[in-house]
Structures are given as structure tokens and as C-alpha cells.
Structure 1
Amino acid sequence: MKIVDDYFGCDVFGPEAMQKYLPHSVYKIMMDVMENGKELPASIADIVANAMKDWATQKGATHFTHWFQPMTGITAEKHDAFINPAGPNNVISEFRGKELIKGEPDASSFPSGGLRATFEARGYTAWDPTSYAFVKDKTLYIPTLFCSFDGSSLDKKTGLLRSIDALNAAGVRLFNLMGFDTKKVNVTVGPEQEYFLIDEKWYKERMDLMVTGRTLFGCPPVKGQELDDHYFGNITQRVKAFMEEVDEELWKLGVYAKTEHKEVAPCQFELAPVYSSLNYASDQNQLTMEVLRKVAHHHGLVCLLHEKPFDGINGSGKHDNWSISDDKGENILEPGDSPEDNIRFLTVLAAIIKGVDEYQDLLRLSVATAGNDHRLGANEAPPAIISIYLGEELTAILQAIASGKEYVDHINTKLELGVSSLPQISKDTTDRNRTSPFAFTGNKFEFRMLGSELNISCPNTILNTIVAEEFTQFADVLEKSDSKHRTEDIIALIRKSLNEHERIIYSGNGYSEEWRQEALRRGLLEFKTAADAIPHYTEPKNLALFEKHNVYSDSELHARESILLMNYYQLIHIESKTMAYMLRKQILPAVFEYEAELATIMQTKKEAGIQASLEAKVLKKINEPLTTLDKQLDELETMNQKDFTDPHQASRYAADELLPLMNAVRASTDTIEENMPKKAWPIPDYNDILFQSVE
């Protein structure tokens, strides 16, 4: 039996492997680079590269790749063998520092949003030494950044690292002004990953699942999730075997996969890791999704990561548990044991509340995708309106501070506004509000709006930058403060922020229509679709924010907006074309065949003098929606021919015209399916997929 302790992280070029393969002096430099963000000296590049190659080849690696995250949202890789010619019939395994530090993949076919022309094919990958290299499938994977010839960011990772630096700089400055000896602020994240598992045979018979990741047609199953009997239910042997292999693969790669269970919907599951530094967490979540998909095939299954594979069944999200800590390892979002610690905690809380209110648009667009639109606001995931949940006790404390009134808790402990009399705040002061998009859960914020397939870099880049801005604003105020009155000034700053931004705090049912109406009265933003949200990327205040903190330039931000809008249109356009194809090639021929069969039966009965009223009734139920569908399909195919070059026009067309028609086409088709016999329906139905896969 394998013991996890013996092989955890064995495929990662981490501290243990570095210590073994690097000279001690080089090892110390590398750890300083990784832990403190120091610049890597060029003089050690060859030494590190050679050590990395020796370690990787001993693990069976024959190739290396610069592993990067282009704006497609997934990862990319180009493999090169270690071998180099050493004579007519000889080769030598070699890996040099310049190959480690920089690569030159063809960038012409990656989205750039206008940052480079198609004929300008050159792009560069640059080693990210703050994230560990690893071996997978006989290849050494080197995490890298991806940029254009002029240095513009073409990836998800560059902005993330810049935002981490911005938050660190702002946090160190603020906390030192408050009297804390802080040398570094770390961002940690634990992304909970939801997914579906279905049998591979059903998947291969559904073109919509294969092409788009979701079902474009399908009547509700006879049983869904209404009995609440799937959540945390018993895990079948087939799924357990899958999970065991997933865990082993992830543990070898140093991923702290810890919790796994059934989720709410049939065939739906969740995997949750222990939190880790944000850069690692981002890389490891991409690996997790890849491993889930790969291992599923080993068990005759398919892992669906689309946000909404089945209509009427809960979709899948990815809860982003975000927190910050200092260089002493103290979680800054955990209430402390002393009044001094609690004033820092409350200051950070006030800054986050202020930032979330001022930049609601950015947080909403950070999770905006075509797939996620089907979840948000559908009473299964948070609404499309941003709000913060803090829990009853914490909300009451903040309200007392904001109003300058006395706070009395459940054991009659008074809270006055001087730091010396701030009481201890319970370390488990909140319940879990599953309907809140941004909930404080005791020592972290749980951003619950992310879709299951989303690369977590974008929401965390935005969250980091927002908080960096608020820390900077707070520090600007405190720098002008007299040190003798620093405490009073901090409390005044907290009070001002809470009074001006209390509208963003909400502890009730985020699914209710009452909250939606109340939120709109409060002036909160509601962007129902990605097409509504994404154009806010380049609003003047947002451009200023990202440029101020050196996260994105004006051109990089405009490029991201264009890429996301065009991607939204393209995904929906592909769905629309797939829908038309399935109707013409599969569904309509099957319907015509069954109608002909019914007509033959009716004619036979008529000739025998027997009434065929039942057959006539069924035929009518099929033919009425079929007549409607015929017109809808013609219109859909015409609309599919339209072409766009402007991303804004394209996204609006998809949201306002294509999607409504697609929904109407589906409704007509699903009505026909309801009246067709199972053997005549040409594709697996929901009952097949959800109850003959893994249950």
C-alpha cells in the first residue's frame, strides 16, 4: 500500500529536489527568489537548468515545455526534446539556461485583442521562477509567462503576478504605518472545484456535449435533485476508484487535494484543496481540471466542467477562498487575540468592503462567461448582483463602529470605539450564506460566483488590485496623520468607509426577488449577461486603477475586453451552429420517421374501420411544435450566416438575438421529445445520462 507521505510532491522540482540537485549556494538563491520575489541572477541559470534536466530525466522525462496560460483561458505547451546533435550518429542530452529562461513559440494563433497583428507571429515565454516546475507524461513542465514582441502581456499569469506585487507593496506600506513590522503580504487561495461525471458512451452520442460541453436539448428527467438525496451521498465504487486515481495524480504534483464529495445534482461532485499561495493555487487548479478530465477516461467516464451541462439541473461553480497573511504567517483576515490585531482586522475588512462596492463592475465581469450566464441569478448560484455577507455578529460590530454607538453582544460585552477597549471578536463569527456572491467565512472571503471551468487568475487579479488600491488610499490618509492620534484616525477611516459603503453588505437570501429589488434601490449594479458586464473593463476609473498599480496598460486592458467579448460571441455562435446541425442531421429525420410510422398505423386502422384517435392526438402534439420549429430553424440558420468583426456588436448580437432564438428552438424541440417514444429519439436523454452513468 502506498503511503502518501512517501510520494507527495515527488514529481515537483520543489525544495527537497532543489536541495539534492543544486549546489547549496544556488539553492539558497533559488529559495530567496521563490519566497521573497528576488530577481534571479543570470549567472545561475545554466546551473539550475542542468539540475532540473538531471532531475527530470531520472524521472523518465525526454522533453521539456514552457507551460503557459494564453488568453484562451486554458493552458498551452510546445514540447522540445532534451537531445542535441553530438556527431553523425550521436546525441547528447542538454538543457541550457537560455532555454529555461526564455522560449519563442508562434503566437500568431493565440488571441491578442489587437496587441499584435496576425503576421507578427513571434511571442515569448519567460520562466516564472516563483512557481515550481514539474514532470508529467515524460515531460518537464516549466511554468512561464507569455508576452508579445513588445512585452505586452498575452496571458493570464502576468497580470496575476503583477497584482500580487501590487497588493504586497500596498499592504506592507499600510500595516507598517499602523505600527506592524511587516515585510511581506502573501495572498492565499483555495479553489473548490465542482464537476460532473457521465458515462463516455452517452457523451459520444451527444454532439452538443462533445462540441459545446453542454446539452442544447433535453426534457427534464423523471427525477432531478428535488429530494436532496445526492448531496454528500454514498460514493459508488466506480467513482471512488476515479477519485483515488485523481488524488494520487494530484498528490504527486504537490496539489493538496483534500475534500471530495457528491454535490447537489445527480452525477455532480466536488474536489477541494487546502489553500496555498495564489500563484501555486492558480497553476494547480489548471492542473486539477486537466487531471480530472484525463483520469475520467481511464474509467470510461467523461468529466464535464461546463458551468451548466444540463438545463433544470444545478450547474457547477468554483468557490474562490481568498485570504491574506503576513511574513510571520498570521492570517490577517482572522480576528486576533488582542485589540491591536483586531483593529488591523477591521481596517482590512473596511478596505475590502469599500473596494467591493466601488468596483462591483470589475468583480462581476471577472466571472463573466457565456456558460456562467446560465448559473448566475438562477437560484442555484449567487445572483448577478455583487454584495458582501459578513454574518450577524460582525455586521452588528461594524454598524456600531459606523454609527459611533455602543455595541453589546450576546454576553453583554460592550464595544467602545477606543482601540484599548475593542473586545475579542469570535474566530467563527459567521454562518455560511450559500446565496451570497462574496461571503466572509471566518478567516477568508469566499468568492462564489466563479464558473467551474474558469481560470482563477482573472478574478484574483482583479480582487488583488482592488484591495491594493484601497490599502493605498488608507495609507495616503494615515501618512498625513499625527502618530499620537493614529488610532483615532484609523477608527475614523474605518467609520467613514463603512458609512459610505454599507449598501454593499447584505445578509439575507440573495436568491429572492425582494433582494433584487432592494439591491436596485440601493444603487447596486446588475449585469445579467457577460455582454452587459465585460465592456466595463475599460471604463475610465478601471483603466486608471490597473495602470496606477502596473497590472495592465491601457492597450492590455482594451485587448482583454475585446478577447472576452469575441469569445462570448464565438461560443454562442458555435452552440447555435451545433443546434442547427443536430436538428437537420439527427432530430428532424427521426421525427419524420416516427410521424410516418404513426400515419401508417392510422391508415391501417382506418382501412380496418378502427378509430385511431390516440395516434392522431400524439401526431398533433408532435406536429404543432414541429411547424413552429421549422420556421425557427430557418431563422436560426440565416442568423448563423452573419459575420462580425466588432467584438461589442458581436456580443450584443449573441446576447440579444441568437440566445433568445436558441431558447425558443430548444423549447419547441423539447416539447417534441416529450411526445416521442424513447426508441425513436435519436440521442440519449437526461434519464440515460444522469441515471445510467455513475449512480
Structure 2
Amino acid sequence: MAANVMEIYGSKVFNEHVMKERLPSATYKSLKNTLHKGAPLDIEVANVVASVMKRWAMELGATHYTHWFQPLTGITSEKHDGFVSPVGDGTAIMEFSGKELVRGEPDASSFPSGGLRATCEARGYTAWDPTSYAFVKDDVLCIPTAFVSYTGEALDKKTPLLRSMNALSNQAVRILKLFGKDVDYVSTTVGPEQEYFLIKKEDYEARQDLILTGRTLFGAPSAKGQELEEHYFGVIRPEVSEFMKELDEELWKLGIPAKTKHNEVAPCQHELAPIFDTTNVAIDHNLLTMEMMKKIAPKYGLVCLQHEKPFEGVNGSGKHNNWSMSTTHENLLDPGDTPMENLQFLVFLAAVIKAVDEYADLLRTSVATPGNDHR
């Protein structure tokens, strides 16, 4: 099994290993400058990357591409465009340009905007996030992108996240230079632990409230809940174990480092925990994880519930975020072994505590949803 995991891991991802293997050396170096130093992406470089990416995706069966983005709906969105391009003699070629890779122009009028978008400015723009690898899903090349309005306002969850990561990096680098550290960038990392419920499909279909809202709105308490606490870390049921095995394999193919799986406290509740990653990548991975859970569960006669509080009287489902800041070689929230290293740790720890205290209202607003209120 170990050899198989190593073989399939990241097999559907256009990652740095694939880039290094397939891109011309000069193109790879230029793209690395964009990935790691934020250098502008030259259109000629984008054209080469797009051509190589298309060939790689087609080898995996892809016929279409999509700018995969995160509007203010709480789920991801995608529009599939074919590589196919007729040439006029009754035949066709497969094309994908650097311009198509870097930018898209979806209609923004049917997505939530919070009143930011004027009626006469219906156009939206998607822009490639090269720091999050493209991947193939359901025979479609998926390109992670940001989504903004005609005048540049964020219409998604990724754009504010990328901006906040950049703002935090600028200030963290400034502080590190006071400690004599020569660093160019500080990244934030997170490993979202995803809790979820698995219930039998026939039970789900018998409850219109579950179908329509994702939670039960009425009903008698269960005869047996979580009082005995025996479900937590208990033996995993065979059908759930088979679901988890397939889920792991599909996530590994997408380069998602699924690490831990176990029963949670409430009956029929479970958890998947990944290894932490750069924040924007980890969020992309979490959204993919949730999508795969819902897609795979019906194969085993199950339905995956991801509402924060699907059942009254037992635990709800959280998404624990183990957040930190780091340079290439150093976790900034890890206590040091010397007084000077401890001083640096204490400075960053104090800054985080002050930020959480001073901007608690913004933090709470960012996670204020009806589901979390129920939980």
C-alpha cells in the first residue's frame, strides 16, 4: 500500500515536480520567481506554461478547463470551457493560451456582491493564483483563481485572504529584520480539521428538513446520544472505513495531505485532519475535501452532512484551524532554545494576542453564519 500511495500522490496535480520535469528551464525559473517572490508573470512565460499544462491535463483525460473560484456563496464555482477549436476544414485542434490561463471574464451579476457592484458593471474577472497548483478533476483542468469585480473589488473569499497574507508578511518581515534575520517573505499556515456526519441514504431521504436545510428542524431526542463517550476514537464501521479509504485515495491524487481519520464524539460523526499547508492552499484543499466527501458517500449508501449543527442534543461539526506563521526554515510561534530566540517568539505571540483582542469583532464577523450560531 505504501508504494501505491507514493505512486498516486499528487498524480492529478500540476505541481513543482511536474513543472520542473516538463517546462523549459528558463520558463521554470521565471515561474518560480512568480511563485516564491511575487515577480510579475510575463505573457510569453504564461503561453509556454499554458501549452505544457494543457498537454499534461489531456494525458489525464481532460477535454475542458475551468477557472475554479470561491464566490460569496460558501461553495466553489466553475465554468467549463473546451480546449477544442475548429480550424475551418471540418477538423479541430486543441488550444489553451496564456491569456486563457491567467484571466477569465465570467458574468458576475448572478453572484453575491454585498452591494459592491453597479448594475451596469456586470462583468467579473477571474485571475490565476499561481501559488495554488492547478489540478485535474472529472476530466477538467481546474485552475485556482481569485474573483473580482470590474472595478477591482473582491467578490470572493480568496482575494481578501491573499491580501491579508501579504499584509501580514510585510509586517512580520519588518519585525524579523529588527532581529537581524534576512528573510523576504513570511507565510501563514493552517491545517483545517474537517468534522462531518455520515448517515444512511434512506434515513436522509425520509427527512425533508435535512434535504432542504442540512439540519433537522424538529423531532424527538435520540434514545442514545453521546453520553457514554464510546464513539470517540471507537472502532470505525466497515462501510465508513471503506468510504474513508476511497476518500483518502482521491485526496492523495489531488495532492491533499490527508493524515488522520477517526470517529468523533457524536454518533455517526467523524473527522479528517490534513497536514498543515500554506493558508490559501490549505483552504483550496479543504473545499476540495468537502466536495469529495459529498461525492463519494453515496457510493456506500451514505450521505455526508457538513452543516455545523445537523442534530440538536449532540455535538456539532467544527473546523479546527491550527494556524501559525513561518519563514522558509522557522516556525515563528515555536518557543526558542535561547533567550534571544524566546524573545522573538514572545514578540510574535504578543502581536497575535493583541491582534485577536483588538480585532475580535472582525474575526467573529468572518465566521458569523447561521450554522455557526446553531453550533
Q: Same fold (TM over 0.5)?
A: yes
Query: Per-residue displacement from partner, 1:373-392 (whole Å, max 9, x unpaired)?
Result: 112xxxxxxxxxxxxxxxxx
**Deviation of residue 353 (structure 1)?**
1.4
Q: Which residue of 2 aligns with 1:351?
A: 351
Match of 1:370 in 2: 370
Q: What's the secondary structure of 2:93's corresponding residue?
A: strand
Q: In structure 2, what is the Cα distance between the partners aligned to 1:348 and 1:312?
A: 39
Relative to the length of structure 2, the TM-score reads: 0.98
Residue 49 of structure 2 corresponds to: 48
Map Cα deviations across residues 393-448 of structure 1 (whole Å, 9 max, x no partner). Answer: xxxxxxxxxxxxxxxxxxxxxxxxxxxxxxxxxxxxxxxxxxxxxxxxxxxxxxxx
- Partner Cα distance (1:73, 1:134) in 2: 21
Q: Secondary structure at the match of 2:167?
A: helix
Q: Which structure 2 residues correspond to residues 77-88 of structure 1 after superposition, within 5 A? A: 77-88=78-89
Preserved CA contact (<8 Å) 1:12 1:252: yes
Q: What TM-score do you get using the length of structure 1 for normalisation? A: 0.53
Gapped runs of 5+ residues in structure 1?
A: 376-695
1:192 aligns with 2:163: no
Which residue is equivalent to 2:267? 266
Give the match for residue 245 of structure 2: 244
Give 3-state SS (helix, strand or coil) of 1:342's partner.
helix
d(CA) in 2 for partners of 1:137, 1:253: 12
Deviation at 1:39, TM superposition (A): 1.9
Q: For residue 607 of structure 1, what is the aligned residue in structure 2?
A: none
- Partner Cα distance (1:52, 1:7) in 2: 19
CA distance in 2, matches of 1:52, 1:182: 31
Q: Name the structure with the higher helix share.
A: 1
| Structure 1 residue 350: Cα displacement | 1.1
Aligned partner of 1:21 in structure 2 is 22
Q: Secondary structure at the residue paired with 2:187?
A: strand
Residues 44 and 98, structure 2, Cα contact 8 Å, conserved in 1: no
**Equivalent pair of 2:31/2:45 in contact (CA under 8 Å):** no
Q: How far did residue 179 of structure 1 move?
A: 2.3
Of 91-100 and 36-45, the range deviating more from structure 2: 36-45
Please name the residue that 1:223 is paired with: 224
Secondary structure in 2 matching 1:3: helix
- Secondary structure at the aligned position of 1:371 is classed as helix
Deviation at 1:118, TM superposition (A): 4.4
1:487-506 to structure 2, matched below 5 A, reads none
Distance 2:158 2:350 in 1: 28
Map 1:251-650 → 2, pairs under 5 A:
251-327=252-328, 329-375=329-375
Structure 1 residue 37: Cα displacement: 2.2
Matching residue's letter, 1:309: P
Q: List structure 1 segments (4+ residues) > 6 angstroms apart after TM superposition.
A: none
CA contact (8 A) 2:43 2:99 kept: no
Q: Could you give the per-residue CA deviations for residues 246-286 of structure 1, whole angstroms, max 9, x where no partner exists?
A: 00000000000000000000000000000011111011011
Q: How does 1:614-693 map to 2 (within 5 A)?
A: none
Structure 2 counterpart of 1:358, which letter?
E
* Structure 2 unpaired stretches of 5+: none
Asked if 2 retains the 8 angstrom alpha-carbon contact of 1:218 and 1:311, the reply is no
Who is 2:5 aligned against? 4
Q: Which residue of 1 aligns with 2:140?
A: 139
State how 1:195-214 maps to structure 2 within 5 Å. Answer: 195-214=196-215
The residue identity in structure 2 corresponding to 1:28 is: K
3-state secondary structure, aligned to 1:247 = helix
Inter-partner Cα distance in structure 1 for 2:120 and 2:210: 34
Does the aligned pair in 2 maintain the 1:109–1:118 contact within 8 Å?
no
Cα distance in structure 2, aligned partners of 1:35 and 1:340 = 28
Whether the 8 Å contact between 1:108 and 1:119 is mirrored in structure 2 is: no
- Larger strand share, 1 or 2: 2
Q: Which deviations, in whole Å up to 9, do the C-alpha atoms of 1:64-108 show, x marking residues without a partner? A: 000000111210000011000112421100101111111111111
2:121 is paired with a residue whose SS is: coil
If you compute each CA radius of gyration, which structure gives the higher value, 1 or 2?
Answer: 1
Partner of 1:647 in structure 2? none
Q: Kindly tell me the number of residue pairs found equivalent between the two proteins.
A: 374
Q: Give the 3-state SS of the residue equivalent to 1:208 in structure 2.
A: helix
Q: Is the 8 A contact 1:192 1:273 kept in 2?
A: yes
Paired residues of 1:18 and 1:27 also in contact (CA < 8 A): yes
**Deviation of 1:181 (Å):** 2.4
| Distance (whole Å) between structure 1 residues aligned to residue 117 and residue 374 of structure 2 | 33
What is aligned with 2:160?
159
Sequence identity percentage: 61
Q: CA deviation at 1:35?
A: 2.1
Aligned Cα root-mean-square deviation (Å): 1.1
- Residue 59 of structure 2 corresponds to residue 58 of structure 1: yes
Per-residue CA deviation, residues 172-211 of structure 1 (Å, 9 max, x unaligned), is 1111013222222111101100000001111112111111
Partner Cα separation in structure 2 for residue 43 and residue 88 of structure 1: 29
CA distance in 2, matches of 1:26, 1:206: 55
CA–CA separation in structure 1 for the residues paired with 2:115 and 2:281: 30
Residue 119 of structure 1: CA displacement?
A: 5.3
